[in-house]
């Protein structure tokens, strides 16, 4: 596993042998709720870093582990994810994205459909409350 980026909010790594990129959000995200605008800008910046690394390493799967997050994703960030993150991931060769969230928010997050616009290439995404199940799904052949 190669560490690609890390700060107080997120760790990004890549596993060559599995062609899997992992974005793990940390407990420090509690600070993000203090200023909504700063929160949205930071989330967009960190997701942009993930997109750039995906374009460089071309993983087939991306695991986004946000179980430790203590912030609410606002609607305009969800739209940004759909318009930018989804399009860039699919154009980088990513075919699957797994989001791992806390059990108590799984239904709410899954219902939000944060990837509404995905561009022209196929990108399959699913929400999980279990990290192991998410990884197994990512590694299954289509």
Coil, strand, or helix at residue 79?
helix
Residue 23 scores a pLDDT above 80? yes
DSSP annotation of 19 reads: T
- Statement: residue 67 has pLDDT above 80: yes
**Distance, C-alpha 99 to centroid of its chain:** 6
The mean pLDDT of 30-45, rounded to a whole number, is: 70
Residue 51 and residue 12 in contact, taking contact as beta carbons nearer than 8 Å: no
Q: With 0.85 as the threshold, say if the pTM is over it.
A: no
Among the four given CATH numbers 3.40.50, 3.30.750, 1.10.260, 1.10.3470, the one describing domain 2-139:
3.30.750
Q: How confident is the model at residue 20 (pLDDT cuts 50, 70, 90)?
A: very high
CB 129 within 8 A of CB 109: no
Average per-residue pLDDT for the chain: 79
**Could you read off the pLDDT of 69-105 as tens digits, one per residue?**
766 655 555 555 656 677 788 888 899 989 888 877 6
């Amino acid at each position: 596993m190669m560490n690609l980026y890390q700060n107080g909010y997120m760790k990004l790594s890549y596993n060559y042998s599995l062609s899997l990129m992992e974005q793990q959000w940390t407990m420090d995200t509690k600070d993000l709720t203090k200023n909504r605008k700063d929160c949205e800008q930071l989330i967009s910046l960190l997701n942009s870093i993930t997109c750039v690394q995906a374009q460089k390493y071309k993983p087939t799967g991306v695991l986004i582990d946000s179980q430790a997050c203590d912030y609410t994703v606002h609607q305009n960030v969800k739209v940004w994810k759909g318009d930018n993150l989804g399009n860039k991931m699919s154009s980088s060769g990513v075919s699957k994205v797994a989001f791992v969230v806390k059990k108590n928010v799984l239904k709410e997050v899954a219902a939000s459909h944060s990837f509404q616009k995905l561009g022209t290439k196929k990108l399959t995404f699913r929400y999980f409350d279990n990290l192991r199940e998410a990884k197994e799904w990512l590694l299954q052949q289509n």
